């Protein structure tokens, strides 16, 4: 798990990676940085699995009719793809990896508030992931990741273990969020006022609020479905007076805010990246910080836009539609501020920065289609078509994964003390962005032509666009393969990064790379905000204990 070459000059200084040795020291670690690295390994494993299933789905859709699997296998595959990507990667990845690793560094703390609960979250993740994946593969769950009743309560496949797994994963997510909120409130170093809080920390704060307040609702709802399956109490079963639409309401009360659990941390990462690589502090810092809270708040009142065609009243649909557009408003505030930050900046084009640009484009494109989808009359046409699939993949993959990659490239030198090949990174970033466009733009067109989601087969006239989409997915997979290769290579033979290879003024660069166990030599004291590029390089304003 840990990169080892101790002889290299990078690892001569004591740091969190070489402080203790052996698997046991990793399994029982309370160090937030090591827990971040563990999450990196675990969530990337999830991403790999989910990606393999995505490729199998795209392969099946290469031709009309059965290509490599039958309808039932296809249903199981998209369930595996959805559940794994959502619960094992999108939700835990950025908070688990970068939140754990960098949040304490960004606020000048030695650790998160509750290190043992932090370790507990890792084990909840492992346990939940094991139960869910085992349940899906062994029981062949075919409900999709949304577990809609009454199908999920009547299907012949096994569903209860997946529900239990998702419940446990949710508990892990809750304690992570809880930990971060308390950490930000209580452990900011002297001088790190709320208005100097790095924007990634603001984004993590908003995310954590959603994790804490929304996840219990999902947990209980999934447990109810499990109870329904095991005992047949009839709580969501129309045959016994139950209301399946109640499930949809409860499910989306979590699962819509959950998409902001996925995108808000991404917005936080790019806020850091754009400031560093444009060498300017954020244009409209407060607007960006508060719009994160705005999204978190409004996000709780838009779930009904998933129920436009579920018999919800027209009035309710209208209200939910309008409220949904407010998310677009807050997102637009961020987009304008990121763009304005680049204006007259001294831009340094790096792989991170390219991913930031990709993120901006995908977010605007995906966001605008989201506004279109929140318009009730248009949504009725697009409901359950590939248009919806393309829309949320633009935000989830185009937005969150671009930002994840931006953060991974930006912070990799800090996490492991070594540089990767920038040339390969740039090449891969272009490939990934092209591959992504090729995968999902055809899906917008297909959806608009009426191709429904979640079918393993389609009419002949849809084939050329489906072939384009599959080709794009292959390109995307190839790009991820390159990234994985040069990142692993950098662990072995990358040159030493030094404490601050990007000359960033972010607080987290105020440490050696990789950081020592105690993060800072003493308690840092700040007299200016992060990313103030007229100030001297960060790292010179610490005082000893």
Binding site for another protein (CB under 8 A): 109-115, 117, 174, 178-179, 181-182, 185-187, 212-217, 219-221, 224, 227, 231-235, 237, 240-243, 246, 249-250, 523
Least gap, CB of 394 to another protein (angstroms): 30
Contact (CB, 8 A) for 265 and 204: yes
What is d(CA 426, CA 428) in angstroms, rounded to the nearest whole number? 5
Q: What is the 3-state secondary structure (H, E, C) of 442-496?
A: HHHHHHHHCCECCCCCCCHHHHHHHHHHHHHHHHHHHHHHHHHHHHHHHHHHCCE
Q: How far is the CB of 264 from another protein (least distance, A)?
A: 18
Residue 246's CB is within 10 A of a number of other CB atoms, namely 14
State the burial class of residue 99 (Cβ atoms within 10 Å of its Cβ: 0-12, 13-18, 19+): buried
CB of 221 to another protein, least distance (A): 6
Provide the token pair at 248. Answer: 């949809």
List alpha helices for 84-154, DSSP H. Answer: 93-94, 100-106, 115-139, 151-154
Q: Is 168 or 274 the residue whose CB approaches another protein more closely?
A: 168
DSSP letter string, 364-424 = HHHHHHHHHHTSHHHHHHHTTBHHHHHHHHIIIIIIIIHHHHHHHHHHHHHHHSB---HHH
Shortest CB 186 distance to another protein, Å: 4
Nearer to another protein, 113 or 390 (CB): 113
The C-alpha angle 473, 483, 199, rounded to 5 degrees, equals 100
Nearer to another protein, 21 or 185 (CB): 185
Quote the CA–CA distance of 358 and 351 in Å, as a whole number.
10
Kindly tell me which of 10 and 106 has the beta carbon lying closer to another protein.
106
3-state secondary structure of 385: strand
The SS3 call for residue 16 is coil
Q: Is residue 19 a contact partner of residue 2, using CB atoms and an 8 Å limit?
A: no
The one-character DSSP state at 328 is: H
Q: Which is nearer to another protein, 5 or 238 (CB)?
A: 238
Nearer to another protein, 227 or 468 (CB): 227
Q: Which two tokens stand for residue 225?
A: 């479905």
Nearest distance from residue 304's CB to another protein, in Å?
14
Packing angle, helices 314-342 and 285-298, rounded to 10: 160
Smallest gap, in angstroms, from Cβ of residue 223 to another protein?
A: 9
* Calculated CA dihedral for residues 53, 1, 119, 37, nearest 10 degrees: -80
- Tokens representing residue 91 in the block: 């939700």
Give the three-class secondary structure for 270: helix
Closest CA relative to residue 163, chosen from 64, 288, 47, 79: 79
Closest to another protein by CB, 215 or 504? 215
Quickly count helices (H) and strands (E) in the chain. 18, 0
Residue 521, SS3? coil
Please name the residues in contact with 263: beta carbons below 8 A apart, sequence gap of 6 or more: 363, 395, 396, 399, 400
Contact indicator for 170, 187 with CB cutoff of 8 Å: no
- Cβ-based nearer residue to another protein, 136 or 218: 218
Instruction: Considering the complex, state which of residue 250 and residue 363 has its C-beta at the smaller distance from another protein.
Output: 250
Sign, CA torsion 280/209/145/43: positive
Task: Please state the closest distance from residue 227 (CB atom) to another protein, in A.
Answer: 7
31 vs 60 by CB, closer to another protein: 31
| Min dist. Cβ of residue 503 to another protein (A) | 29
Provide, rounded to whole angstroms, the least separation between the CB of residue 164 and another protein. Answer: 15
Closest contact distance (angstroms) between CB of 125 and another protein is: 17
- CA separation, residue 87 to residues 93, 133, 222, 381, 405 (Å): 9, 11, 13, 29, 19
For another protein, the closer CB: 44 or 204: 204
The 10 Å Cβ neighbour count of residue 133 is 20
User: Which of 231/315 has CB closer to another protein?
Assistant: 231
Judged by CB, which is closer to another protein: 221, or 375?
221
Dist. CA 34–CA 45, nearest whole Å: 17
Distance of closest approach, residue 423 Cβ to another protein, in angstroms: 40
Closest distance between another protein and the C-beta of residue 340, in Å?
35
Smallest gap, in angstroms, from Cβ of residue 213 to another protein?
Answer: 6
Instruction: Say whether the peptide bond before residue 150 is cis (omega within 30 degrees of 0).
Output: yes
């Amino acid at each position: 798990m840990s990169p080892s070459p101790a002889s290299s000059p990078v690892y001569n200084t004591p740091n969190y990676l070489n402080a203790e040795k052996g698997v046991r020291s990793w399994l029982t670690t309370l160090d937030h940085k090591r827990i971040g690295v563990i999450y990196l390994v675990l969530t990337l494993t999830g991403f790999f699995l989910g990606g393999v299933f995505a490729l199998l789905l795209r392969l099946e859709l290469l031709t009309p009719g059965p290509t490599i699997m039958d309808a039932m296998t296809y249903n199981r595959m998209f369930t595996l793809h959805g559940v794994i990507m959502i619960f094992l990667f999108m939700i835990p990845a950025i908070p688990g990896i970068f939140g754990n690793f960098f949040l304490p560094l960004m606020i000048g703390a030695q650790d998160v508030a509750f290190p043992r609960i932090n370790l507990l979250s890792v084990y909840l993740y492992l346990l939940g992931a094991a139960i869910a994946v085992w349940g899906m593969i062994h029981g062949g769950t075919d409900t999709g990741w949304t577990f809609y009743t009454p199908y999920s309560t009547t299907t012949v496949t096994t569903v209860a273990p997946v529900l239990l797994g998702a419940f446990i994963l949710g508990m892990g997510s809750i304690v992570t969020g809880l930990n971060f909120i308390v950490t930000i409130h209580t452990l900011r170093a002297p001088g790190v006022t709320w208005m100097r809080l790095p924007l990634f920390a603001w984004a993590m704060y908003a995310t954590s609020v959603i994790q804490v307040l929304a996840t219990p609702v999902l947990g209980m709802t999934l447990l109810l479905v499990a109870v329904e399956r095991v005992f047949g109490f009839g709580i969501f079963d129309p045959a016994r007076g139950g209301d399946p639409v109640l499930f949809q309401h409860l499910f989306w009360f979590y699962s819509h805010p959950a998409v902001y659990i996925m995108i808000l941390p991404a917005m936080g990462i790019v806020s850091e990246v754009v400031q560093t690589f444009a060498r300017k502090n954020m244009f409209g810092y407060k607007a960006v910080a508060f719009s994160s809270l705005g999204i978190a708040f409004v996000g709780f009142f838009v779930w009904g836009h998933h129920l436009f065609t579920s018999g919800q009243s027209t009035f309710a649909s209208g209200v939910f539609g309008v409220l949904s557009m407010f998310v677009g408003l807050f997102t637009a505030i961020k987009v304008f501020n990121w763009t304005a930050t680049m204006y007259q900046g001294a831009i340094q084009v790096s792989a991170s920065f390219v991913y930031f640009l990709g993120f901006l484009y995908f977010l605007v494109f995906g966001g605008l289609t989201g506004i279109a989808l929140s318009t009730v009359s248009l949504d009725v046409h697009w409901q359950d078509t590939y248009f919806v699939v393309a829309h949320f993949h633009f935000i989830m993959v185009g937005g969150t994964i671009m930002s994840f990659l931006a953060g991974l490239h930006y912070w990799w030198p800090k996490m492991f003390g070594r540089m990767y090949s920038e040339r390969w990174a740039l090449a891969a970033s272009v490939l990934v962005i092209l591959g992504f466009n090729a995968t999902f733009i055809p899906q917008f067109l297909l959806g608009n032509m009426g191709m429904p989601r979640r079918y393993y087969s389609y009419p002949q006239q849809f084939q050329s666009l489906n072939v384009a989409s599959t080709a794009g997915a292959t390109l995307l997979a190839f790009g991820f393969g390159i990234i994985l290769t040069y990142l692993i290579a950098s662990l072995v033979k990358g040159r030493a990064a030094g404490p601050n290879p990007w000359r960033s003024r972010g607080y987290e660069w105020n440490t050696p790379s990789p950081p020592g166990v105690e993060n800072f030599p003493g308690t840092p004291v700040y007299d200016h905000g992060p990313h103030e590029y007229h100030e001297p390089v960060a790292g010179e304003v610490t005082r000893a204990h």
